[in-house]
Amino acid sequence: MIALLLLIGWLFFLISGIAILLASKYRKTGITLIILFLIPPGWLVYGISQLDASACLLDCFEYRI
């Protein structure tokens, strides 16, 4: 339920940012909302790019007696 509310709020940033950007004189506000929309995917891509798959696989399959 919380994830659904976060998704709705996240999409609200994009929709309202585009609407404000196109339909009014408050262009800086629209650009700010679009940037806020892009931050979570940017963090996700950065986090995935920083993963070291070989180290993770070695730790996962290491056998200890």
Nearest to residue 34, comparing CAs of 52, 18, 58, 55? 18
Characterize 25-53 residue by residue with b for buried, 16 or more Cβ atoms within 10 angstroms of its Cβ, and e for exposed.
Answer: eeeeebeebbeebeeeeeeeeeeeeeeee
Contact 34/13 with Cβ under 8 angstroms? yes
User: Rounded to the nearest 5 degrees, what angle is found at the Cα of 18, between the Cα atoms of 14 and 23?
Assistant: 150
What is the mean pLDDT of the segment spanning 5-19? 80
| pLDDT, tens digit (0-9, with 9 covering 90-100), for 23-65 | 777 777 778 877 877 887 888 788 777 776 665 665 566 666 6
With 80 as the cut, is the pLDDT of residue 21 above it?
no
The pLDDT score that the predictor gives to residue 13 is 77
Global pTM reads 0.50
